[in-house]
Chains A and B, each alone.
Chain A
């Protein structure tokens, strides 16, 4: 087994920064405006980046710190920014995330916000303010995403008498995934609070007016009650030890079940059983049929993909899920790579591959595309599965790229890609298989057109 050399510099990172993840999570809350406490640039850059995937407006406010604030502290500007956002957006919640700048100058954001509340928030109807520490120099956007979700429940949810609602913390999935998830829980006759939920806020309809804050998102009233839910399902095998799910468990005794992202047959089965168990209802007919149809399709298509070699990269949990799916359909994942470094990546990959008669892939965390390419050349892959950032290599090496995850910014519809559930597996399977068929067809001298 080869070892990755230890480079000092990063070339073409396979991760994003923490405040971006936090902004995305805040965007999934009803009436919320994400707010970055730092210089103007970060907010603008992140907006631009998020737009390129979702093709939706995303307003991220900034305290726009300048030189003097870097020296004297950002307190005054943070307050001014909060005031202006409140005046202009009338938000229900402002989600404040720090950046490298404010973490380093040592602004005590919690305290500044408390002062702000005391000074300016006397009346009713003032927005709630949640803050999260997201120094961009530690961890990736996924840590930022989970930290923001955790901050939201810690700062807003209270306990109380148990009700029949469940909490679902789905992790960083697509807008289509979130919509599918909502349909799923309602088909199980469950009431669920899904946090965050940007299925509408980052994939909305055409409008006639610029939405100050787009509609949709997890309702605040539901978030407040998350401590009373009867159970939390939290998705992700590489999650940090302490998350929104563990907080709800420790602070409000909400039982927690952690599972992988429901990508592929077996991970979806597990998820469906969890829903069946918590709802007391059997898996609805619709999903049993979808599963049956999926298996039938796998039979139809297995020959075209068996033994093909895949390189999978992206966010750790997404890679784990996709790897599971690939192995289930007979594709051999040869390299699983991520810029994240949870320390749980390798074990998670091994866990989802168990019993599938699949040779273990190389698993590398904390890598960039320079590393990935270097290994890839040796590994002779037939396909790349990951986000748009693999395109450069895919083009250079003439290996087809199957786009999943985030960011997809060289195609339309990244937010509408379905990854989860039997339907998601079905779509991914069709895409993967057809890509392989197309490649063979295009490369061939003959170009047969019947299967």
Chain B
């Protein structure tokens, strides 16, 4: 009874809540010819490391990988902006034949001399993995000559999916952690992991934490700085946002430096508040908890009345979610509920079994849960569920728009602040201003409804 647009190899990655006991396949390679929305290992690494603003990010490979990732993220910096430049070795045929190491070496020296960065990340791409350039050796040599950390990121595109790229990024950062001076760090201190400072979100989050008496040692990686990461092992706690991206680093820090971690989300009112409470709970500090309560109360006092008007208009509208990491999807489900909306489809590119288990617990009967989707599946479900707004990344945008459905970008590429309490308001505003636009009256979808 599954519709035609689903390839049989993909059936186990799609579930309708209520149809059968829950079991969803995930974390497998994308199917050839299925037009997956996923990118590659390189992409995963780039997403995580990109916001570190005082490092050179050199993509060792053909021009495409670098050029398609040039400044597409919304990650802001309060200081240096090296991350917004797109550096590449632009490998040519001769380099492929004779090896790209000499070019890599020279390019690194050139860029380090030119920009005087605090460190350099060197991303390996498909082709480099194949021709077997010894990235590690070149990086080591340059590191010695230039006296800054030069970190190979083993992100060959074909060696898995985006998730493997997160791991490669964390491995590269691991070499930095533990190399800086930790004196003077408060015992009430944390690192913020897994926030990329899209549209300046981390400034907001940092401010919340500081208001409840916490010192933030390192932002990993939004508005990130090499020196902060080097001393991040001096913090007492790692607060990790998002399910996948920086978890590996947090685990490593737990193992090596005994720093525990907690997982949080900054999207939506409940999750944002809970993030502050959990940190306060961890430090077991009554004063801090009291401050957190006051902060949340103050913020909500202004936020909730403002949300009302949006909620009034949006109640009963239907939303679909397809995002990179599943953790974000939990928050979005709750955020939509706060606006009175129903989530009818939810999926991710890289969710794990536990993620999906949790998703199915918090969603309503009939909700479609989907792993590693493609345009045809997404569009079929959007139509079937008569969705009013679709939340995804830029690749999902034209799918929604073509079908006459509102869209909200909730990916690394977005330029709107959606985290924290003011982010919730922005989110509500954005959903409202798109869903309520008169344009939908003119799209074929609605015209057809009028007739029938």
CA of A221 to CA of B7, assembled, Å: 30
- B38 A40 Cβ-Cβ under 8 A: yes
Tell me which of B7, B111, B158, B376 contacts A65 (CB under 8 A). B158
User: Which residues of A73-107 are within 8 A (CB) of B?
Assistant: 77-78, 80-85, 87-88, 99-101, 104-105
User: Which residues of A1-51 are within 8 A (CB) of B?
Assistant: 7-13, 15-17, 19-20, 35, 38-49, 51
Task: Determine whether A377 belongs to the interface, using a CB cutoff of 8 Å to chain B.
Answer: no
B61-95 CB contact bits vs A (8 Å, 1 = yes)?
Answer: 11111111111100000000000111111111101
User: Which residues of B406-439 are within 8 A (CB) of A?
Assistant: none
* Given A100-B126, A136-B63, also A12-B36 (CB < 8 A): no
Task: Determine whether B313 belongs to the interface, using a CB cutoff of 8 Å to chain A.
Answer: no
Chain B interfacial positions (CB closer than 8 Å to A): 5, 7, 9, 29-43, 58, 61-72, 84-93, 95-96, 103, 106-108, 110-111, 125-127, 129-131, 157-161, 375-376, 379-380, 383, 394-395, 397-399, 401-404, 442-445, 448
**A60 surroundings in chain B (CB, below 8 A):** 35
- Known contacts A88-B7, A101-B157; can you find 8 more A-B pairs with CB under 8 A? A11-B86, A12-B86, A13-B70, A17-B63, A38-B158, A77-B32, A137-B91, A208-B404
Task: Determine whether A209 belongs to the interface, using a CB cutoff of 8 Å to chain B.
Answer: yes
Most buried by B among A17, A19, A20: A17
* Given A8-B106, A138-B93, also A15-B67 (CB < 8 A): yes
- Considering only CB atoms, which chain B residue lies closest to A105 in the complex? B130
CA of A209 to CA of B110, assembled, Å: 51
Please give the distance in Å from A371's CB to the nearest CB on chain B: 12
- B35 A206 Cβ-Cβ under 8 A: no
Most buried by B among A11, A82, A83: A11
**A379 surroundings in chain B (CB, below 8 A):** none
The interface size bin for chain A is: 35 or more
In the complex, how many residue pairs between chain A and chain B have their CB atoms under 8 Å apart? 239
**A101 surroundings in chain B (CB, below 8 A):** 126-127, 130, 157-158
- Considering only CB atoms, which chain A residue lies closest to B128 in the complex? A100
**A49 surroundings in chain B (CB, below 8 A):** 68
- B444 A46 Cβ-Cβ under 8 A: no
- B398 A57 Cβ-Cβ under 8 A: yes
- Considering only CB atoms, which chain A residue lies closest to B378 in the complex? A210
Task: Determine whether A343 belongs to the interface, using a CB cutoff of 8 Å to chain B.
Answer: no
- Considering only CB atoms, which chain A residue lies closest to B5 in the complex? A88
- B398 A85 Cβ-Cβ under 8 A: no
* Given A44-B40, A135-B93, also A66-B33 (CB < 8 A): no
CA of A58 to CA of B443, assembled, Å: 20
Please give the distance in Å from A213's CB to the nearest CB on chain B: 11
- A67 B158 Cβ-Cβ under 8 A: yes
- Considering only CB atoms, which chain B residue lies closest to A84 in the complex? B33
* Given A12-B85, A208-B448, A210-B399, also A17-B33 (CB < 8 A): no
- A137 B92 Cβ-Cβ under 8 A: yes
**A67 surroundings in chain B (CB, below 8 A):** 158-160
- Considering only CB atoms, which chain A residue lies closest to B129 in the complex? A70
- A44 B158 Cβ-Cβ under 8 A: no
Task: Determine whether A52 belongs to the interface, using a CB cutoff of 8 Å to chain B.
Answer: yes
Task: Determine whether A435 belongs to the interface, using a CB cutoff of 8 Å to chain B.
Answer: no
Please give the distance in Å from B342's CB to the nearest CB on chain A: 22
**B58 surroundings in chain A (CB, below 8 A):** 9
- B130 A104 Cβ-Cβ under 8 A: yes
Tell me which of A38, A40, A45, A88 contacts B69 (CB under 8 A). A45
- Considering only CB atoms, which chain B residue lies closest to A78 in the complex? B32
- B93 A137 Cβ-Cβ under 8 A: yes
* Given A80-B33, A135-B93, A210-B399, also A48-B68 (CB < 8 A): yes
Please give the distance in Å from A184's CB to the nearest CB on chain B: 29
CA of A56 to CA of B34, assembled, Å: 19
**A392 surroundings in chain B (CB, below 8 A):** 71, 84
**B403 surroundings in chain A (CB, below 8 A):** 207-210
- A9 B448 Cβ-Cβ under 8 A: no
A199-214 CB contact bits vs B (8 Å, 1 = yes)?
Answer: 0000010111111100
CA of A138 to CA of B398, assembled, Å: 31
Please give the distance in Å from B134's CB to the nearest CB on chain A: 17
CA of A258 to CA of B63, assembled, Å: 30
CA of A146 to CA of B285, assembled, Å: 67
- B64 A16 Cβ-Cβ under 8 A: yes
Please give the distance in Å from B361's CB to the nearest CB on chain A: 30
Tell me which of B36, B90, B95, B108 contacts A44 (CB under 8 A). B36
User: Please, could you name 12 A-B residue pairs with CB atoms under 8 Å apart, sorted by A?
Assistant: A13-B67, A45-B43, A61-B35, A65-B158, A66-B160, A67-B160, A84-B33, A85-B35, A137-B93, A204-B402, A207-B403, A210-B383
Please give the distance in Å from B245's CB to the nearest CB on chain A: 17
CA of A141 to CA of B358, assembled, Å: 44
Tell me which of A8, A10, A70, A212 contacts B66 (CB under 8 A). A10
Task: Determine whether A63 belongs to the interface, using a CB cutoff of 8 Å to chain B.
Answer: yes
CA of A88 to CA of B160, assembled, Å: 24
* Given A17-B62, A59-B375, A206-B402, also A40-B39 (CB < 8 A): yes
Please give the distance in Å from A87's CB to the nearest CB on chain B: 7
Task: Determine whether A253 belongs to the interface, using a CB cutoff of 8 Å to chain B.
Answer: no
- Considering only CB atoms, which chain B residue lies closest to A7 in the complex? B110
CA of A234 to CA of B9, assembled, Å: 44
A381-406 CB contact bits vs B (8 Å, 1 = yes)?
Answer: 00000000100100000000000000
**A41 surroundings in chain B (CB, below 8 A):** 38-43, 65, 126, 157
Task: Determine whether A252 belongs to the interface, using a CB cutoff of 8 Å to chain B.
Answer: no
Task: Determine whether A62 belongs to the interface, using a CB cutoff of 8 Å to chain B.
Answer: yes
- B90 A13 Cβ-Cβ under 8 A: yes
* Given A11-B87, A41-B43, A48-B395, also A66-B7 (CB < 8 A): no
Task: Determine whether A69 belongs to the interface, using a CB cutoff of 8 Å to chain B.
Answer: yes
* Given A48-B394, A81-B32, A207-B444, also A42-B157 (CB < 8 A): yes
Please give the distance in Å from B122's CB to the nearest CB on chain A: 11
- B159 A66 Cβ-Cβ under 8 A: yes
CA of A82 to CA of B31, assembled, Å: 11
